[in-house]
Structure 1
């Protein structure tokens, strides 16, 4: 099992559970998380979903070793949902999504905050959008959602620099509502999730729809632009250099590349 699923008081908690891989998303975890969101969406007994990670990381993003296999092995078997299916499930998820960032969040472990209705972060956690260091493009509609959430310059720094962002900086930007001591993170997130879950599900859905609907077309357009750019760059010289460097335990050298 790569995803723990538990229910309590109309809150469904999803725990990313690949701690030895820092909860990096392989095809199995993408499929499990997307399917869990689809099931929670359809379950009349679920009012709120709370997402967090097991161990010292929230998620290290896409599993780079598996990404290298996908880029180089035409016979690699992809999952039923994959990354695109998870993003679609997030875009369409009709109920409140609460995210508790318990540790490192890279790639989708950071960009998923664009879909959070409430987000909380341990004060020891950090975020990174490592797209330029991997020679690829943004993902998960972050090129639209991040500027909308935090403003152009903070979004540009996160998406262009591939630098770490601290929990306090994430709170200042508006990516998370509250920064907590690690031991207080889940109790705080659960308390807020329980407050929402005590409200009528029909009303929660109506409020979220009213907030999200004006952005849906722009989110989908951003996702399509990003997917096209990602497909163009994945397997290209910069991406292959980044993946080789990761596999060899060294820093990539892009100085000879455009």
Structure 2
């Protein structure tokens, strides 16, 4: 299989006092994940996990969005182009890296958070959001199934009915609603978001890494089997629905700049 051509980096990284800040950097695409960004973030998480000089990772986005989910134009090409070349890690590799990440992961949601921009919060140890952030899971509006063990992690994090609304409706959730649900821990003014997240990261980074790892593993270890089982179920449904009539209608409608019409699609 030919290698995928790589453009300029779409992820930036900076270190300060044992905190590694990873910034999704496709602002022109609202930081939507294409194959390159999946690969770069996966590699960055693997590197941070292995680096003894990193105690905490802070993940945020550049521009007016945290992450607009999966790049739908590329998703359409993947569904329709037999010559499409996937990345090295892809979505599955990123979720593997998130599920296995052994150190505190802090997420700062600036602006829009869609799809993986929301479901990543299921793997976050702390999550902050700007007051003007808006979040949603668009799965039913795309004719597909949940992802990233969100069918398990979201009910556990925010309760069954809150999770059901987010996963079933594909509707927006405000930062205030996200805080009230427990989807994010704290909200603040957009201009204070990074400073607030960095201040909390600094507190964690002052602790011994061995202790941070032990605490996180103690919290996560009992969940691993259920996370894996949820991912297996979700992946099976996603594979069944991806490229199906509802999904193709959603992607075609997106490419044509119109709302999808699912009413004529048979069950």
Fold agreement, TM-score > 0.5: yes
Alignment partner for residue 94 of structure 2, among 86, 93, 110? Answer: 86
Q: Give the C-alpha shift of residue 74 in structure 1.
A: 1.8
Q: TM-score, normalised by structure 1?
A: 0.99
Q: Is structure 2 residue 161 aligned with structure 1 residue 150?
A: no
> Where does residue 27 of structure 2 map in the other structure?
19
* Segments ≥4 residues shifted beyond 2 Å: none
SS of the residue corresponding to residue 20 of structure 1 reads helix
> Where does residue 180 of structure 1 map in the other structure?
188
Alignment partner for residue 232 of structure 1, among 234, 240, 250? Answer: 240
> Where does residue 32 of structure 1 map in the other structure?
40
Name structure 2 gaps, 5 residues minimum.
1-8
Task: String of CA shifts for 1:180-226, please: whole Å, max 9, x gaps.
Answer: 10001000000000100000000000000000000001001101111
> Where does residue 214 of structure 1 map in the other structure?
222
Alignment partner for residue 8 of structure 1, among 16, 22, 35? Answer: 16
For residues 177 and 234 of structure 1, what CA distance do their matches in structure 2 show? 33
Name structure 1 gaps, 5 residues minimum.
none
Q: Give the C-alpha shift of residue 131 in structure 1.
A: 0.1
Aligned residues: 258
For residues 224 and 189 of structure 1, what CA distance do their matches in structure 2 show? 33
Q: Give the C-alpha shift of residue 238 in structure 1.
A: 0.1
What is the RMSD computed on CA atoms of the aligned residues?
Answer: 0.4
Q: Give the C-alpha shift of residue 92 in structure 1.
A: 0.1
Q: Give the C-alpha shift of residue 75 in structure 1.
A: 1.6
Q: How does 1:1-258 map to 2 (within 5 A)?
A: 1-257=9-265, 258=267
Q: Give the C-alpha shift of residue 13 in structure 1.
A: 0.3
SS of the residue corresponding to residue 204 of structure 1 reads helix
Q: Give the C-alpha shift of residue 23 in structure 1.
A: 0.1
SS of the residue corresponding to residue 14 of structure 2 reads strand
SS of the residue corresponding to residue 168 of structure 2 reads helix
Q: TM-score, normalised by structure 2?
A: 0.96
Q: Give the C-alpha shift of residue 86 in structure 1.
A: 0.2
For residues 194 and 99 of structure 2, what CA distance do their matches in structure 1 show? 24
